[in-house]
Amino acid sequence: MARFRLDCEYEGTRYSGWQVQKNARTVQGEIMNAVRQVCNTGDFELYGSGRTDAGVHALRQTAHLDVQTVLPPHVLRMKINDALPADINVLRVDKANKHFHARHDVITRSYLYQISQRRTAFGKRFVWWIKDELNIGRMQEAAEHFVGMKDFRSFTADDPEEKSTKVLLEELRVEESGSLILLRIRGSHFLWKMVRQMVGVLAEVGRGNMAPAEVPAILKKPSDAPAKLTAPPSGLFLEGAYYHGDVLPTELVPVMAIS
């Protein structure tokens, strides 16, 4: 049985997240159906670099596939894509070392969030449109408080009694691009709904309803404020999971430019 590395992109609007579920349409489930059809076997395993929630997109989700096939990687990619719906696309397929693991070998993960400052006819599925005027300087000031090893128990729907809520956040960048505010959130790993709740808090700071100096207090003691401010999944993209040898992105580029 051979191991392959798959890099894929998807629009998550129609799916209940990445991970396969009973009685729900998922991205992993669609890829597994395609592999089953192409390789004519149910004897295979597909592991993703991590979960994405319902409605969340991916610019590059990485997975490893263990399957017995005589197809070379470029042909396997082409045939899998032919069997996939149009909103999921395999970018590349490469033979991988048998010890490569899509989830365990990740060094860092990066997310992109897009906030639109105007109503858009074309990008509705890929942004969070906020009608209120946002102060990007205040948002950037608040973002600095999140960087480093912090306890994000107030920023997740996970149970802190069942898993550690400490996360090393390596970068939280906030920039303007036309009518968009782009946020890059990069870290060792992420908790359930953590990114969307952080974005929600930053948006509240941008509106002027919360001071940047209030963020450290929310990180230090439990608060239900982030849960109430959770940003919608439409604007969130998994930018990529990165491994040894991968080049981290530097420029912050919108998925769709909105002037």
**Residue 44, CB-side half-sphere exposure with 13 Å CA sphere:** 26
**Does 38 fall in a domain?**
yes
> Is residue 232 within 8 Å of residue 55, measured between CB atoms?
yes
Task: Identify the band that residue 251 occupies on the pLDDT scale cut at 50, 70 and 90.
Answer: very high
Q: What is the pLDDT of residues 14-70, one digit of tens each?
A: 999 999 999 999 999 999 999 999 999 999 999 999 999 999 999 999 999 999 999
Residues 204-219: pLDDT tens digits? 999 999 999 999 999 9
CA pair distance 143, 121, nearest whole angstrom? 29
The whole-number pLDDT of residue 162 equals 72
Q: Check residue 209 and give its pLDDT.
A: 97
In this structure, what CATH number is given to the domain that contains residue 38?
A: 3.30.70.580
**199 and 223 co-located in one domain:** yes
The CATH number of whichever domain residue 176 belongs to comes to 3.30.70.660
Domain range for 183 is: 108-242
- CB of 240 within 8 A of CB of 249? yes
Sign for the CA dihedral angle at 211, 212, 215, 216 comes to: negative
- Averaged confidence pLDDT in the chain: 96
**One domain, residues 112 and 233:** yes
**pLDDT grade, residue 201 (50/70/90)?**
very high
pLDDT tens per residue across span 149-198 = 999 999 998 876 778 999 999 999 999 999 999 999 999 999 999 999 99
Shared domain check, 28 and 125: no
Q: Is residue 259 part of a domain?
A: no
Q: In angstroms, what is the C-alpha Rg of the chain? A: 19
The pLDDT assigned to 157 comes to 83
Q: Going by C-beta distance under 8 Å and a sequence separation of 6 or more, which residues neighbour residue 91?
A: 7, 8, 9, 60
* 236-242 vs 108-116, strand pairing mode: antiparallel
Q: How many beta carbons lie within 10 A of that of residue 175, not counting itself?
A: 15
CB–CB of 155/197 below 8 Å?
Answer: yes
One domain for residues 156 and 51 = no
pLDDT at 158: 80
CB of 49 closer than 8 Å to CB of 61: yes
Do 228 and 151 fall within a single domain?
Answer: yes
Catalytic residues: 53
For residues 120 and 215, membership in a common domain is answered with yes
0.85 cut: is pTM over it? Answer: yes
44 contact partners, CB below 8 Å, separation of at least 6: 1, 32, 35, 36, 65, 66, 67, 68
Structural contact between residues 135 and 208, judged by C-beta atoms closer than 8 angstroms: yes
Asked, for residue 251, whether it belongs to a domain, the answer is no
Structural domains in the chain (count): 2
pLDDT of residue 25: 97
Say how far apart CA 116 and CA 131 lie, in whole Å: 9
Which of helix, strand or coil describes residue 137?
Answer: helix
In tens, the pLDDT along 106-126 reads: 999 999 999 999 999 999 999
- Please check whether residue 190 lies inside any domain of the structure: yes
Q: What is the pLDDT of residue 10?
A: 98
pLDDT value of residue 150: 95
Does 113 share its domain with 81?
A: no
Q: Are 171 and 183 in contact (CB under 8 A)?
A: no
Strand partners, 108: 242
Task: Kindly state whether residues 127 and 235 are assigned to the same domain.
Answer: yes
Domain assignment present for 102 = no
On whether both 90 and 206 belong to a single domain, the answer is no
**115 and 226 assigned to the same domain:** yes
Q: Give the pLDDT confidence score for residue 159 in this predicted structure.
A: 76
Claim to verify: residue 234 and residue 118 sit in the same structural domain = yes
